[in-house]
Structure 1
Amino acid sequence: MYAAVLVFVRVAGVRSFAEMSAFDVAIMVAIGSTIATTIVAKTPSLMAGGFALLLLYGFQLVVSRWRSLKAPVESAVDNRPIRLMGEGGRMLAENMRVARVTEDDLRRIVRGANVVDYTTIQAVIMEGPGSVNVLHGHGEALAESAWGLKNVRDYSA
């Protein structure tokens, strides 16, 4: 089983480990579950588990290729990021409601990013796979047209 995973990872490339989209996370969970079930349970057989891995890695390879070529596939497979906080640490209540994030969640996230002065926060973004990034600057305003904010949902505008 280990050898099969190594071969599939070499063929699929480093993207097979990336959690860049919700689809990637779902595939990684399915792959992990398949490996665990194949190793621990009597069924499926080692051959069936290997075939299931082949299908999962193949599916990931095909979908990642389609994502890069066709925007409708990307929008169907990926969750778009959402802005939770704006400039100066301003909480975006409607966005937080849509993302089901509380003020306490945001405080924990901001503390985790080692932000002492919340007024230095330019944006807090919840990414498609669920990770959260805190953008804090050095007193410079973040341009709304910033490249890093492209395709970020903001319902507060």
Structure 2
Amino acid sequence: MRVGVFILLKVRDVSLISRIVSMKNAFDQWTSASLGEVTMVVVSSVIIYAVILAYTRFSGLRSFSKMSASDFAMTVAVGSLFASTISSSNPSLVIGIVALACLFLGQFLLALLRQRLDGFSKFVDNEPLLLMAGGRMIDENLRKANVTRGDVCAKLREANAFRRDQVLAVVFETTGDISVLHSQDQEGEIDQEIVSDVIDSELLFADTRSTEPTSLGR
């Protein structure tokens, strides 16, 4: 009986020691790197960074503009590809450069199609959505955009809008940004062309001045 207990304790000790050694090896691998690996990261970083700058000069100022949902996706994709290429041997440096070229070329072609084909933007991008018409919040559109009244009030504060009667419109843009159009002039008006592509923009040109309290609180 004693021999059996002794053997069981020894097995447990060996298992515990094995786990400790395994954890130590994993930690050492995580916190160390060979000279070759460090050199690979440095060289890859310089080359990929130079390639991105060259592609940006070629494709123009819109490369990282975030003017549309596709532009935002482009920015995220380039950042992810940059990180994976410089920190790992898979994908290879050449594959990373080719993939970046495809991303920039795709964005360039999308921008060209937007200019040449009427309605193409509506096909590839979401439409901006009106959240406030004058001082009145549009609850139905807030629900569509998954935005709360508190979110809108925070954006009004960022835009230095002190009262609701200063607000002309609040628009949820295709990139996820919220634009606040406001004026100190009580009789200020919005040019219809500026909001022509905004869903429910016709509410801005009806009698939309709110009778709700003019403070920004709920």
TM-score band w.r.t. shorter chain:
over 0.9
Q: Secondary structure at the match of 1:124?
A: strand
Residue 19 in structure 1 maps to residue 87 in structure 2: no
Higher RCO (CA-CA < 8 Å; seq separation 6+): 1
C-alpha deviation, 1:148, in angstroms: 1.2
**Structure 1 residue 68: Cα displacement:** 1.1
Task: Indicate if the aligned counterparts of 2:64 and 2:72 stay in contact, CA closer than 8 A.
Answer: no
1:71-150 pair list within 5 angstroms: 71-87=118-134, 89-137=135-183, 138-143=185-190, 146-150=192-196
Q: Which runs of 4+ in 1 moved over 4 A?
A: none
1:4 maps to 2:20: no
More helix by share: 2
1:132 Cα shift? 0.8
C-alpha distance in 2 between matches for 1:140 and 1:70: 37
Shift of 1:131: 0.8
Is it true that 1:37 corresponds to 2:84 in the alignment?
Answer: yes
Look up the equivalent residue of 1:135 and give its one-letter code: L
Q: Which has the larger radius of gyration?
A: 2
| Inter-partner Cα distance in structure 2 for 1:48 and 1:31 | 13
Looking at structure 1, the residues matched to 120 and 194 of structure 2 have their Cα atoms a distance apart, in angstroms, of 21
Does the 8 A contact of 2:130 with 2:170 survive in 1? yes
**Gapped regions of structure 1 (runs ≥ 5):** none
Q: Does the CA contact (< 8 Å) of 2:131 and 2:169 recur in 1?
A: yes
Counterpart selection for 2:105 from 53, 58, 81: 58
CA distance in 1, matches of 2:142, 2:76: 27
TM-score of the pair, normalised by structure 1:
0.92
1:130 partner letter: G
Is the partner of 2:130 in helix, strand or coil?
Answer: strand
| Identical counterparts, % of pairs | 37
Task: Kindly provide the CA deviation profile for residues 99-146 of structure 1, in whole angstroms up to 9, marking residues without a partner as x.
Answer: 111111111111111111121101001111111111112112425x62
Is this contact kept in 1: 2:170–2:178, CA < 8 A? yes
Question: Offset of 1:73 from its aligned partner?
Answer: 2.2
- Three-state SS of the structure 2 residue aligned to 1:71 is coil
- Secondary structure at 2:104's aligned position in 1? helix
How many angstroms apart in 1 are the aligned matches of 2:175 and 2:198?
A: 13
RMSD between superposed Cα atoms in Å? 1.6
Q: How many matched pairs?
A: 155
Which residue type is aligned with residue 62 of structure 1?
A: L
Separation (CA, whole Å) in 2 of partners of 1:4 and 1:141: 47
